Amino acid sequence: MGITKDSNAREANTPDERSFESSPKISKRFSSPKADIILRSSDDVEFRVHRLFLAEASTVFRDMLEIPQAQTQSAGELSLPIVDVTESEEVLDALLRWIYPWAGKPKVTAVAQMESYLVAASKYDIAVVLEALAEGLKPEFVEKHPLGVYGMLRWLQITHQIHMPEAVSMARKHMIRSSFDLMNPPPSELNRLSAVDLLDLIKTKQAFRQVVEEIFTFNGIPRCNTCRKAGESTPLWWPKYRSNALAALVEGNLPDFVFSRSFMIAAVRSVDCEDCDGSFSNAHSQNYLILMKTKLLYLWENGTGGVYGAKLSDWNRT
Binding site for Zn ion (CB under 5 A): 224, 226-227, 235-236, 273, 275-276
Contact 285, 276 (CB under 8 A): no
Contact 24, 44 (CB under 8 A): yes
The one-character DSSP state at 27 is E
Q: Which residue, 129 or 227, is less far from Zn ion as judged by CB?
A: 227
Q: Residue 247 CB, nearest distance to Zn ion (Å)?
A: 21
Length of the chain equals: 318
Q: Which residue, 78 or 266, is less far from Zn ion as judged by CB?
A: 266
State whether residue 49 is helix, strand or coil: strand
d(CA 53, CA 61): 10
Q: Which residue, 200 or 277, is less far from Zn ion as judged by CB?
A: 277
Contact 181, 146 (CB under 8 A): no
Residue type, 140: E
Q: Which residue, 226 or 244, is less far from Zn ion as judged by CB?
A: 226
Q: Residue 109 CB, nearest distance to Zn ion (Å)?
A: 53
At residue 69, φ and ψ (nearest 5 deg) are -105, 155
Q: What would you measure as the largest C-alpha separation in the chain, in angstroms?
A: 103
d(CA 297, CA 224): 28
Q: Residue 272 CB, nearest distance to Zn ion (Å)?
A: 9
Q: Residue 226 CB, nearest distance to Zn ion (Å)?
A: 5
Q: Residue 232 CB, nearest distance to Zn ion (Å)?
A: 7
Burial 48-82 (b: 16+ CB within 10 A, else e): bbbbeebbebbeebeebbeeeeeeeeeeeeeebbe
Q: Which residue, 44 or 272, is less far from Zn ion as judged by CB?
A: 272
How far separated are the first and last CA of the chain, in Å rounded? Answer: 64
Residue type, 273: C
* Cα-to-chain-centroid distance, residue 99: 23
Sorted by sequence, the CB contacts under 8 Å of residue 241 that are 6+ apart come out as 264, 267, 268, 280
Q: Which residue, 224 or 292, is less far from Zn ion as judged by CB?
A: 224
d(CA 49, CA 72): 15
Q: Which residue, 19 or 225, is less far from Zn ion as judged by CB?
A: 225
Q: Which residue, 130 or 227, is less far from Zn ion as judged by CB?
A: 227
Q: Residue 263 CB, nearest distance to Zn ion (Å)?
A: 19
Q: Residue 233 CB, nearest distance to Zn ion (Å)?
A: 12
Q: Residue 196 CB, nearest distance to Zn ion (Å)?
A: 49
